[in-house]
Amino acid sequence: MERYFNTEGLCVPEEHYMVRLDDRLSRIKQLFVDRGKYFVINRGRQYGKTTTLRALAKYLKDDYLVISMDFQMLSTASFENEEIFSDAFAETVIEVLEHMEEENKQELIEILVRFGREEYRSLRSLFVCLSRLNEEAGKPVVMMIDEVDSASNNQVFLDFLALLRGYYLERKNKSTFQSVILAGVYDIKNLKLKIRPEGEHKYNSPWNIAARFNLDMSFSTDQIARMLWEYEEDNKTGMDIHAIAKCVYEYTSGYPYLVSAICKLLDEEISESNDFKDMASVWTEEGIAEAVKILLKENTPLFDSMVKQLNIYKDLRNMIEEVLYQGKEVFYSPDVESINMGMMFGLLKEKNNHVVISNRIFEMRLLNMFIAEEAVKSEAYRYGQRDKNQFIRDSRLNMDLVLEKFVEYFTELYGENDERFVEAYGRKFFLLYLKPIINSVGNYYMEAQTRDAKRTDVIVDYLGEQFVIELKIWRGNEYNERGEEQLIGYLDYFHQKKGYMLSFNFNKRKEVGVKVMEVRDKVIVEAVV
């Protein structure tokens, strides 16, 4: 069967183009399983947790008896009480054992069958049964449970965790699992937060025995390149593998689903477009930009989950808006609930002791969402809609004129507002103004490396042409000159000869308007409001 890029569920090497996991599996075995650790793989939605677990089960089977189950296969009724849960759990283990090739599997199954015949069945008696199974297995037993979130609102599951913990602590005296691996979005320590929101119970987790699982599950540029090399071997597109891998990584930061989604769009959809003459032209930065544009318009489970979490956790949403619009620098602390939730859901990551959005695509999607919500009531958006037709000539965007008209609009409506107002809303108004002008044709994103409270670089992609715009708060001539140098460096990075500066200036003697400067070999268009 011809391999393809997969974004729906489990990935397998024989069927799909995927990043090879051998190094990751070896590290998990060496650092966790062989050492008898109990741990949790909690990552955001569609981060490759299930694929990793399935591959790990196969990787471990020569040395361990691996019982791998998915709590999504249990119904809500299975968690009604401990007797029902114990029966459902035992039946699931029997089903797993029936598909194994172990010589003694019938003896192990019989242990569980006898448990099912007992008159009184409880979690306690289930664990006595599981202990006996571990004694008779013939080799150490590893238990994996995927989608533990499915059970996280149930007290019976917390009691199950408590017994796992108890047997772990008594492992010198009682036979129990060599290693237990749980996987889901929610960190186990947050389960009581979901069940009992009152403060005194918030972090009283029965799973304080868990080892810290700190392996990076994102894909590196080199890993993406190796996946693309396999694709290139089969399809002979002529792509520059390293350049394409680097570009995909810059958009995704290696988020597994996003990497596969972009590649899938290039292979299956962009390749059918009349805008690209052959596969060599598809697998380019222009092709990736087109794939990103399509992806940002799709309703996917990942994006739906992101919106859902922001609607639930209002403090998280407010913090993300401040980071995106105002360049607010948020110091990283895992003890702040909004930060902890954002990290857990995969929306945020820690970088240089500060909180940043996980990847460029999330930033773009979030900006699009915030702007769409603001557009209904925004004067800036309405002015952009009103003016948009004058900025496009021969399918090219006149960014000089965009800045000129924005200066006129902003001065007219907000010229008398104080510094605090402009610092909070100035960049938001420009992005709202720009959005309807490039909508459906172009995209923009804010470069994370340059974002702070004083300056932000916005990169606009419009039909293959890039515009680098520095948005900054005026801090005097010396700071302005440093900004010019920073912009020149960034223009070199993007191989551009022309750049733009939009300065929000609070000097009463400022000259409002647009001027063109030549700085070394660059042309800089500066707009001052």
Rounded average pLDDT over 26-48: 95
Give CA–CA dist 65/179, Å, rounded: 11
DSSP 388: G
Integer Cα distance of 338 and 314 in angstroms = 8
What pLDDT digit, counting tens, does each position of 401-426 carry?
Answer: 999 999 998 888 776 666 666 666 77
Per-residue model confidence (pLDDT) at position 200: 44
Identity (one letter) of the amino acid at 233? E
Which one-letter DSSP state was computed for residue 324?
A: H
Closest-CA residue to 462 (of 371, 374, 394, 519): 394
Contact 478, 486 (CB under 8 A): no
3-state secondary structure 241-282: HHHHHHHHHHHHCCCHHHHHHHHHHHHHCHHHCCCCCCHHHH
Average pLDDT over residues 459-479: 80
Instruction: Write down the residue that tokens 């460029």 correspond to.
Output: 360
The maximal CA–CA distance of the chain, rounded, in angstroms, is 89
Residues 262-282 pLDDT 10s = 999 999 999 998 889 899 999
Please tell me the predicted confidence (pLDDT) of residue 318.
Answer: 93
Q: Closest Cα partner for 173 from 122, 131, 115?
A: 131
Tokens of 215: 């392996």
Can you give the pLDDT at residue 197? 45
pLDDT of residue 32: 97
Would you state the pLDDT for residue 114? Answer: 95
Report the share of the chain in percent with pLDDT over 90: 61
Average pLDDT over residues 439-444: 83
| pLDDT, average across residues 199-210 | 61
Share of the chain above pLDDT 70, in %: 90
Amino acid at 475: R
Q: Which position has the token pair 């990935």?
A: 11
Q: Which of 30, 74, 31, 24 is nearest to 53 (CA)?
A: 24
Residue type at 105 in one-letter notation? K
Tell me what pLDDT residue 266 has.
97
Q: Using pLDDT thresholds of 50, 70 and 90, give the confidence band for residue 251.
A: very high
Lowest mean pLDDT, pick from 112-116, 226-230, 424-428, 497-501: 424-428
Beta strand extents in 353-453 (DSSP E only): 354-357, 392-393, 396-397, 442-446
Alpha carbon 383 to chain centroid, angstroms: 34
Ranges 152-166, 169-183, 260-274, 353-367: which has the least confidence:
152-166
Residues 374, 372: Cα–Cα separation, whole Å:
5
Q: Which residues contact 379 (CB under 8 A, 6 or more apart)?
A: 413
Tell me the per-residue pLDDT of 111-134, one tens digit each, with 9 for 90 and over: 999 999 998 899 999 999 999 999
Better-predicted residue by pLDDT, 198 or 246: 246
Between the alpha carbon of residue 114 and those of residues 98, 117, 126, 370, the distances in Å are 16, 5, 11, 58
DSSP assignment letter at 509 = T
Q: How far is CA 404 from CA 271, 325, 417, 502, in A?
A: 38, 21, 20, 10
- Quote the CA–CA distance of 15 and 19 in Å, as a whole number: 13
- 202: pLDDT strictly greater than 50: no
CA 60 to chain centre: 28
Query: Residue 471: pLDDT band by 50, 70, 90 thresholds?
Result: confident
Q: Which structure tokens are listed for 477?
A: 């001539």
Q: What's the mean per-residue pLDDT of the chain?
A: 88
Radius of gyration in angstroms for the set of CA atoms belonging to the chain, rounded to a whole number:
27
pLDDT at 500 over 90: yes
Is the per-residue pLDDT at 68 higher than 80?
A: yes
Task: Give pLDDT, residue 488.
Answer: 86
Phi and psi of 483, rounded to 5°?
A: -60, -40
- Give the tokens for residue 434: 């720009």
pLDDT-derived band at 199, boundaries 50, 70, 90: very low
Greater pLDDT, 464 or 483: 464
